[in-house]
Amino acid sequence: MTSSHKRFLSAYFTLPPISLCARGSDAWKQVFPFTEPGGAWTFSGRVALFAGLRQIQLPVGSTVLVPSYFQGTEIDTLIAAGYKLRFYAIDDNFEVDLADVEQKLDDNVSALYIIHYFGLPQRLGVISAFCQQKGIRLIEDCALSFLSKEGDTWLGSRGDVSLFSIYKSVALPHGGYVVTKNPTQPPELQSPPLFSTLLQTADLVAQHVRSASAHGIINRLWNRTNDLRKGIADKTVVSGTITLDQKTLCYSASKVVPRLMRLNDPHWVIERRRANFALLHSRLRHLSALPVETLAEGACPLFYPIYVENKPRFRAELMRRGVGSVNLWSQPHSASPCEKWGSVAKWRSTILELPIHQQLDGDDVERVAREILHLTRRTSAPKPAAKSAVSAAG
């Protein structure tokens, strides 16, 4: 039996307490977006978006074209910042449907908002040329695509505003990052409450301890204290909520965040995620939501998405078998007429994101694959979208 059989394989990485004693290195400072002169830390991705729009002075009251498949907090943030929204189609390769975007243009449209789904790149060259030609700004949502590239081009390097949710990719209590072209002024943000930072850092450490003892007392204790932990979190501001808490919009990242970044070697993160993705893809390709044969050069995915039937039940069974997963974006938003977008409704109800993060090794990934195959043996998954000539990853 490998160690991977004993521990809980969490959907996100955790923070081993021992790593807090390590000195780490400044390697993270040498990679995009931290190399950009106009970049700044924020509390989260949504704060990065809000601050970035102010920085480029995108006219308030103008219309932003937004994709029909989205998380929800980016939509709430755009509305809170004073923009009108118009939705455009995403095709079955999870790519921006530029023909539909073109139809949605009018004189009030000031920007096109794109999301790099699952950390995989949209066609940046074509899209940024389109925006230039139409005289509109490009907003790149890299919440899921920190450290990802399209070939040699970093995702986030083409947008007039690009937002990152760094804490989704590496172990941080919170932390977004904003990069803008020609910022007129730096964002005026204040440090978040210390209690918030301590609470969420302790949570990352506790999850590590919990994952090491999946079926033990710590895990039971963890589940029993759900309400207590939620009650404590409600007393402060926290990152990662599914609704927008406007109180967070004035916060930058704590000074602890750049220190914790030292524990991450970005090149190793990229290497592991790519290797884990490739291994899982070789085992679960028939269930994959992604119409790609291989992972495109430069892409650094955050998750491995598969189609499952009865997502909540499947997820609960997978959890019982010691594997975490992420149920991204299952809820529609009142601002979007969901029924109009056939594929979106299907994606929301059937796509489950599997972990491929940097703390998993090959044995762990094999175990994830085995558990999925075990659970799907009796159920037939919905057919993946038809493959097309242009892959979602480039």
C-alpha distances (whole Å) from 154 to each of 36, 115, 139, 262, 365 are 11, 14, 14, 21, 27
Considering only 11, 28, 46, 289, the residue that binds ligand PLP (CB under 6 A) is: 46
Q: Identify the residue among 32, 74, 210, 249 touching ligand PLP (CB under 6 A).
A: 74
Which residue's entry shows tokens 């932390």? 175
Q: Does 176 bind ligand PLP (CB under 6 A)?
A: yes
DSSP for 263-313, written as a single string: T--HHHHHHHHHHHHHHHHHHHGGGBS---SSPPTT---SEEEEE-SSHHH
Cis before residue 33, ω within 30 degrees of 0? Answer: yes
Candidate list 13, 33, 41, 44; residue touching ligand PLP; CB under 6 A: 44
Q: Is 45 in the site for ligand PLP (CB under 6 A)?
A: yes
Could you tell me if 80 and 100 are in contact, meaning their C-beta atoms sit under 8 angstroms apart? no
- Tell me how far apart the alpha carbons of residues 111 and 227 are, in angstroms, rounded to a whole number: 41
The smaller minimum CB distance to ligand PLP, of residues 138 and 369, is found at 138
Q: Which stretch binds ligand PLP (CB under 6 A): 67-75, 200-208, 210-218, 276-284?
A: 67-75
SS3 at position 99: helix
Among 240, 332, 382, 384, binds ligand PLP (CB under 6 A): 240
Q: Looking at 30-38, 69-77, 83-91, 359-367, which segment touches ligand PLP (CB under 6 A)?
A: 69-77
Q: Which x/- pattern, by CB under 6 A, does the window 131-150 give for ligand PLP?
A: ----------x-xx------
Shortest gap between Cβ of 74 and ligand PLP (angstroms)?
A: 4
List the structure tokens of 176. Answer: 């977004």
Do the strands 153-154 and 149-150 form a parallel or antiparallel pair, or are they unpaired? antiparallel
Choice between 15 and 163, CB closer to ligand PLP: 163
Give how many residues touch ligand PLP by CB under 6 A: 14
Least gap, CB of 42 to ligand PLP (angstroms): 9
User: Which residue from 107, 61, 115 is spatially nearest to 87, judged by alpha carbons?
Assistant: 115
8 A C-beta contact, residue 69 and residue 118 = no
Q: What is the H or E stretch that residue 133 is in? A: helix 124-134
Query: From the CB of 238, what's the least distance to ligand PLP, in Å?
Result: 10
Query: Which is closer to ligand PLP, CB of 39 or CB of 176?
Result: 176
The residue sitting closest to ligand PLP, measured at its beta carbon, is 45
Binding site residues, ligand PLP, CB under 6 A: 44-46, 71, 73-74, 115, 141, 143-144, 165, 176, 239-240
